[in-house]
Chain A
Amino acid sequence: MAIKVITPGLSTTVQDLGRPGYYHLGFPEGGGMDRFATMVANLLVGNPEGAALLEATFMGPELEFTAPAVIAITGGELPPKLNGVEQSTWESFAVKAGDRLSFGFLKGGARAYIAVSGGIDVPVVLGSRSTYVLGALGGYQGRAIKAGDELPVGQGAGTPGRSLPVALRRPEATEIELRMLPGLYWHRITEAAGARFFEDVWKVAPEADRIGYRFRGGHPLEFVERVQPFGAGSDPSNIVDACYPYGSIQVPSGTEPIVLHRDAVSGGGYMMLGAVISADMDVIAQLQPHRPAQFVPVTLDQALAARADNGALFTAARAHLAG
């Protein structure tokens, strides 16, 4: 069984739940940017939650199935159509050999997850099938899919008609507040700059991808004056190149914050204000360019409470889809 790529969409890659363990060599964990949607899509079609699926960004691909299968689409609201007939998202449905899956225009969110029973069966590289485009590694030939590709699919047995009710999905926020734990190199900016950073309404810049999300529109940062340390470089935003946490907010030259995501560059020479908490990483994955957002400081205890709430969302979805 295979999936033929008729049109690839804007940037569609094979992803699973990632390849932790190689960050010290510069390999990011990768995996679906929206982990909740990744997991649910897989469970809907009877796959293990970390099976490989397709992550489509902003625009859907057009795909043809060579054999019967059960599929499900989750994540952003990218309306699926089977042979031109609109289908539900967050619900599994059957496809036959020769059926074509296409998508309407994106109505909400930024990324859709397309799972097929059996999972996309590309080779496992460093413990994962995720595509790391920058390193030309994993996924389908280390790159986003292209027209003419034939994606191998594993053996699976899904059931159509399984769904996750709205109440069990991540609630959609009207105003985006990204909770972050100030730290790392926060002490490099002035108190006034720190206050303004949280007051400002930022907008997602067009440069927003799997590596990181850039934000625009707030005030430039004011740095605490210092003689730059040896080896750091001359700009006040420079540090001696260090490791970057996932979710860390770096601000090159103090102007545009970049939040690193699942395909993060593992290190570099820019100061970071802290990191967006793990509970809000999936939220970033569904932000479109130009979407307004604010950063909100939280304590470590609040971050852990939010993590527990987020974990409960996963647990409830797993429980609902078990068996």
Chain B
Amino acid sequence: MAIRFSHGGDEHIFGEVSESMSLESFFTGLSMINAVRAAQIPGVIETCPANASFQVKFDPDKISPTDMLRELRSFEEQAAKSDQTLATRIIELPVYYQDPWTHETEMRFRERHQDPNSTDLEYSARVNGYATIEEFIAAHAGTPWFVSMVGFVAGLPFLYQLVEQKKQIQAPKYLRPRTDTPKLTVGHGGCFAAIYSVRGAGGYQMYGVTPAPIYDPSQKVRYLSEEMCLFKPGDIVKFRPQTRDEYDATLEAIEANEWEPTIRSCDFSLTEFNRDMAGANARLMEALNGN
């Protein structure tokens, strides 16, 4: 299927691989971006992969928008048949679901929600066909997620659940965005989970918080001393539910700068994943938990 290209003003070209989300579209977009990066085209300023699309920003004084578009089209055929495998890593992230801070925040913005009489978790569990919040959380934390985009604000990952489409958790965004979201909230909108790297506005349903910083501009957090942002597209994430006591203990260890998340190398093949999701996820979990 052909990529839909559009000029974004005179300085950007936007490419939509598909209207709907799929890992195939993500991989095609990533291949396009990798091709642009490898070609080292003079004038290219930003190369941004996104969930099912991508964007290139360039200096039109160095390369005309028409020439830039021609360059991009020249990569399209190759990108469509690229090898959809990644040598990547799996990161385990603790999450304190049903925490008091997101709860307090969602209560403040209840009139902006689809169902002001339910909490975000109650509502999301119900619309996804789960009888209880506990079952919903078990599904949320039960399988790995794939980082298919980083952005909105610095270091914020969008995560795509690695299960068959009909089992994916889906939830609408708030009717009107909140003006506040606690830092490190684990949220959900459309089919995507997100982790809010900083406190601020947001429209995603809120399910819990992680104690683990994922963005540190001061680069003092030990596992963020080289890169300010924990996540990059292609990373795989597994959430692990925590109790309040475990959360507090992790937080204490983080404050002492003694804690870091478990991160292991792994491979991800889209072909293999599509052939046998349970098997592929089992191998990812083995990479995370094995020795």
Q: Is A311 an interface residue (CB 8 A)?
A: yes
Q: Once bound together, how far apart are the Cα atoms of A194 and B192, in whole Å?
A: 30
Contact residues, A223-269 vs B (CB, 8 A): 229-235, 238-243, 245-248, 252-253, 265-269
Task: Say what secondary structure dominates the interface of chain B.
Answer: loop
CB contacts (< 8 Å) of A142 on chain B: these are 217
A230-B165, A245-B12 given; A183·B61 CB < 8 A? no
CB contacts (< 8 Å) of A247 on chain B: these are 8-9, 11
Residues 98-117 of chain B: 1 if any A CB is under 8 Å from the residue's CB, otherwise 0? Answer: 00000000000000000000
Choose among B8, B46, B192 the residue that contacts A21 (Cβ–Cβ < 8 A): B46
CB contacts (< 8 Å) of A245 on chain B: these are 8-9, 11-12, 14, 55, 57
Give the Cβ gap from B36 to chain A, nearest Cβ, in Å.
11
B190–A246 touching, CB < 8 Å: no
A132-B154, A137-B217, A245-B11 given; A25·B232 CB < 8 A? yes
A246–B12 touching, CB < 8 Å: yes
Q: Is B24 an interface residue (CB 8 A)?
A: no
CB contacts (< 8 Å) of B150 on chain A: these are 24-26
Q: Once bound together, how far apart are the Cα atoms of A307 and B229, in whole Å?
A: 34
Closest-by-CB residue of B relative to A136 is B217
Choose among A229, A246, A253 the residue that contacts B57 (Cβ–Cβ < 8 A): A246
Q: Is A221 an interface residue (CB 8 A)?
A: no
Q: Is B64 an interface residue (CB 8 A)?
A: yes
Q: Once bound together, how far apart are the Cα atoms of A153 and B57, in whole Å?
A: 33
Give the Cβ gap from A172 to chain B, nearest Cβ, in Å.
23
CB contacts (< 8 Å) of B192 on chain A: these are 231, 241
Comparing B15-23, B77-85, B135-143, B261-269, the segment that makes contact with chain A is B15-23
Residues 117-158 of chain A: 1 if any B CB is under 8 Å from the residue's CB, otherwise 0? Answer: 000000001000000101111000010000000000000000
Q: Once bound together, how far apart are the Cα atoms of A20 and B46, in whole Å?
A: 7
Residues 1-29 of chain A: 1 if any B CB is under 8 Å from the residue's CB, otherwise 0? Answer: 00000000000000000001101111100
A184-B6, A231-B51 given; A26·B151 CB < 8 A? yes
Interface residues of A, count at CB 8 A: 54
Task: Say what secondary structure dominates the interface of chain A.
Answer: mixed
Q: Is A116 an interface residue (CB 8 A)?
A: no
A229–B9 touching, CB < 8 Å: no
A24–B7 touching, CB < 8 Å: no
A267–B8 touching, CB < 8 Å: no
A304–B189 touching, CB < 8 Å: no
A interface with B by C-beta (< 8 Å): 20-21, 23-27, 125, 132, 134-137, 142, 180-181, 183-184, 229-235, 238-243, 245-248, 252-253, 265-269, 272, 274-279, 300, 303-304, 307, 311
B interface with A by C-beta (< 8 Å): 6-12, 14, 16, 18-22, 33, 45-55, 57, 60-61, 64-66, 149-156, 158, 160, 165, 170, 172-173, 176-177, 189-192, 197-198, 200, 215, 217, 228-229, 232-233
Question: Can you list 5 A-B pairs with a CB-CB distance of less than 8 A?
Answer: A183-B6, A231-B51, A234-B172, A267-B48, A300-B7
Q: A245-B11, A307-B10 are in contact. List 19 more A-B contacts (CB 8 A).
A: A135-B155, A142-B217, A180-B9, A181-B8, A183-B14, A230-B20, A231-B170, A232-B20, A233-B173, A242-B50, A242-B55, A245-B9, A246-B9, A248-B9, A266-B153, A267-B151, A269-B189, A275-B9, A304-B10
